[in-house]
Structure 1
Amino acid sequence: MEKRTVNPWKWQDERSYSQAVEVKNATSTLYCSGQAAIDPDGTSSDKDMKSQLVQAIANLEEVITTAGYECKGIVRLNIYTTSTHELWPYFPILQEWIAKHRIEQAVTMLEVNGLFETLKVELEATVVK
């Protein structure tokens, strides 16, 4: 697989994403459903935003690795949250995870009126290898 990032500017670098990602010669693609702070028994978290973000990241990583992919293969990450204001102070947690796995991805973050049950943040990814 060949991956090329397209960044006409520099300002996105401090926000840990790319403006566009081109992928050539991929052997397979994994489309992940939104992963949130849901326990293995299916119980939705009612904890704070930070706790939910940490669990959503862990759940996304679990889905990706269980499917036989690597997190560094993420090329698209959509972030849905019930409050960008509440999520933003914890964005460095996501940035550290992105750096740890050397992920280069396009990102969209959307504030939504609500997520399933008590959830506050959901991460949806496209992964290639």
Structure 2
Amino acid sequence: MEKRIVNPWKWQDARSYAQAVEVKNAEATLYVSGQTAINAEGISSNADMATQLEEAIQNLEQVITEAGFECRNIVRLNIYTTSSEELWPHFKLFQDWVTKHGMQQASTVMEVKSLFETLKVELEATVVK
């Protein structure tokens, strides 16, 4: 697989994403449903935004790993949140995770009216190998 990052500017680097990602000769593509802070028993979290973000990241990483893919090969990662204002103070958790895996992905952050049950943040990914 060949991956090419397209960044006409530098400002996005501080926000842990790329403007575009081109993929050639991919062996496989994994489309991951939105991952949230739902535990193994299917119970939605009532925790604060930071805790839910950490749990959503862990769940996303588990799905990707169990599918035989690597987080470093996430090429698109959308973040849905019920409160951007609540998310931003904890965004470093997300950025540290991106840095840990050496990810360079196209991303969109979108505030939505609501998510399933008590959830505050959802991560949706596309991964290649």
After TM superposition, the score normalised by the length of structure 1 is 0.99
Q: 1:68 maps to which residue?
A: 68
The yes-or-no answer on 1:14 pairing with 2:10 is no
Q: 1:102 maps to which residue?
A: 102
**Equivalences for 1:84-123 in 2 at 5 Å?**
84-123=84-123
- Aligned-residue identity in percent: 69
For structure 2, list consecutive stretches of 5 or more residues without a partner in the other structure: none
How far apart are residue 111 of structure 1 and its match? 0.1
Aligned residue type for 2:111: E
Q: 1:34 maps to which residue?
A: 34
CA deviations on 1:94-126 (whole Å, 9 max, x unpaired) are 000000000110000000000000000000000
Aligned residue type for 2:115: L
Q: 2:77 maps to which residue?
A: 77
Q: Secondary structure at the residue paired with 1:31?
A: strand
In the alignment, the residues of structure 1 paired with residue 39 and residue 76 of structure 2 have an alpha-carbon distance, to the nearest angstrom, of 24
Q: 1:126 maps to which residue?
A: 126
Segments of 4+ in structure 1 off by > 2 A?
none
In the alignment, the residues of structure 2 paired with residue 22 and residue 94 of structure 1 have an alpha-carbon distance, to the nearest angstrom, of 23
Aligned residue type for 2:16: S
In the alignment, the residues of structure 1 paired with residue 63 and residue 124 of structure 2 have an alpha-carbon distance, to the nearest angstrom, of 11
For structure 1, list consecutive stretches of 5 or more residues without a partner in the other structure: none
After TM superposition, the score normalised by the length of structure 2 is 0.99
Q: 1:23 maps to which residue?
A: 23
